[in-house]
Structure 1
Amino acid sequence: MTRRASKPLPPPTDQERAIAASAARALRSAIADPSTMGKRSVVHIDLARPRRSEWQDTWSNLPGFLRVNGRYRHASLPGWEYRRDEIRSEMIPDLEALAERGERPTVATGWA
């Protein structure tokens, strides 16, 4: 089976860049003071088989930020997952690069 490369995403809009900037600020604030994260919500999703279930955590003051089965994601960075220790070192800089220069991450720098 031959896998085709995924289509590149279009350049980010001004609104997407503003959302990424806001998300980076909110994450930095949450790291400095976890009480700013807001209310945590947890959902279990069972996708037809137990092997395909997932736990999703979200926080009310961190829109777009999501933890799925222990890996972190952000809606502004589709297709990318981060470990907890990579939020500060990789996710926030990726959000800031998107906000400031319109650059989306292209190379995974952590685990694959």
Structure 2
Amino acid sequence: MSRAPKPLPPPTAEERQRAREAAVALRAAIADPSTMGARAVAHVDLVRPRRGEWWETWANLPGFARVNGRRGHYFHTCLPGWTYARSEIVAEMIPDLEALAEQGVRPTEATSTGRAA
């Protein structure tokens, strides 16, 4: 029997500010991809389960990453435990970041079948 994960503490003012900045930066990058900054790619070896992943990050989008290339998923460090498909960035990730910034509310349930906690 597995336990439910321990709930995260309420977000700090600093976390809310980072989420606000992340939402603005993501909207700007979608409008003009040249604002993303330099791309960096790293290979991450995971012990359990034994496998590896490729993580892509961009200089002007701190906390935002794509895992395993075009067919992979995206995550943001402001939203721990959540992953998003490319099609969910505008529809779900950015609104989740804005809700965290404006109301201090973290996502609690998936709003589509493509996203898992």
Shorter-chain TM-score: what band?
Answer: over 0.9
Q: 3-state DSSP class of the match of 2:43?
A: strand
Structure 1 runs (4+) greater than 2 angstroms displaced: 45-49
Distance 1:96 1:48, change over 3 A: closer
Relative to the length of structure 2, the TM-score reads 0.90
Q: Give 1:101-112 correspondences, 5 Å limit.
A: 101-110=103-112, 111=114, 112=116
When the two chains are superposed, the root-mean-square deviation of aligned CA atoms in Å is 1.6
Residue segments in structure 1 that go unaligned for 5+ positions in a row: none
Q: What is the distance in 1 between the residues matched to 2:10 and 2:47? A: 36
Q: What is the distance in 2 between the residues matched to 1:17 and 1:47? A: 30
Superimposed CA distance per residue, residues 64-98 of structure 1 (whole angstroms, 9 cap, x where no aligned partner): 00111221000000000000010000000000000
Alignment identity in percent?
Answer: 68
Q: What is the distance in 1 between the residues matched to 2:43 and 2:75? A: 16
Q: What is the distance in 1 between the residues matched to 2:61 and 2:24? A: 10
Count of residues in Structure 1 that have an aligned counterpart in Structure 2: 111
Relative to the length of structure 1, the TM-score reads 0.93
